Structure 1
Amino acid sequence: MMTTCSYDSAFGPMLLAAKDGALLGAWFLGQKHFPEALAANGDAPPDGVLARAARECDAYAAGQRRTFDVPLAPRGTPWQRAVWDALRAIPYGQTLSYGELAARLGRPGSARAVGAAVGRNPLSIFIPCHRVVGAKGDLTGYAGGLDRKRALLALEKALPGRAA
């Protein structure tokens, strides 16, 4: 059974979802592709994996954590999951362009397909899609909003254009 809880992150209110001991989703309220149906299903007290995810995210926001240990189980197509795995390989404090990420995945020229998969990332912050920038280092697209992307990159002291 899936459980959800509201979480007031340092970057704004979020909805966390978990099932079978793994985090399935972490969305900013109202972000692009926000699962309204999940939000309407109720709010469990944050315990188990949900509480762990909240603690790890709080530690990240306080500058005390650079990686996450909470088990993740995002749902998506094989392509989306490959892109999300590649996102997790971008080190804290570094950025990569959509085109560079496509090349790493063995599909040069598929920056738009990478962008579409990045935009569907169900685990904001935990799968660091905020570390992907435009070809010239510009801040482009972020389902949670560019202000949040800017804040996340500022926390990591990531200067756009610094490749991983």
Structure 2
Amino acid sequence: MPVTVRRAAPDDLDRALAVWRAANEARGHQPAPARVDRVTAKLRAADALVVVATDGADMVAMGLAEPGRADDGAGAPIAGYGHVSMVFVAPARWGAGLGGLVLDALHVPGWRRTTLWTRTSNARARRLYEKAGYHPTGRTSTLAGGDGIMQLERMG
């Protein structure tokens, strides 16, 4: 059955969260309840662009983009700037090209710059983003659990 990528409807959001959770757990990252609450709020935010990929009745991938904001996301939205907050694929479908389909659907016309953060250890995600035209900005940070993350950006 062909995969369909579309904007999420309100009744898709719980299944999108389930894809996010399954992908994290498969990579050995058990999300804390506070993180689940934060992702749930991001999925339901009025300015979020949430897309899902379905294969028949099954949701196989999801992604979220939002307006880029000043002050590392804490400030006001910046015109022409977007931020990809998440791209996740159901573990059974890893390697099938679904991440690229979701990422393509998250690129908003009019965004001249788009950024994202990814774990430095996630080689699969880094290949996906670099193939889509993202390049490291040189900014890095460390998550509470000690994992390194890096920022990537795409112009145009």
Q: Fold match, TM over 0.5?
A: no
**TM-score, length-normalised on structure 2?**
0.30
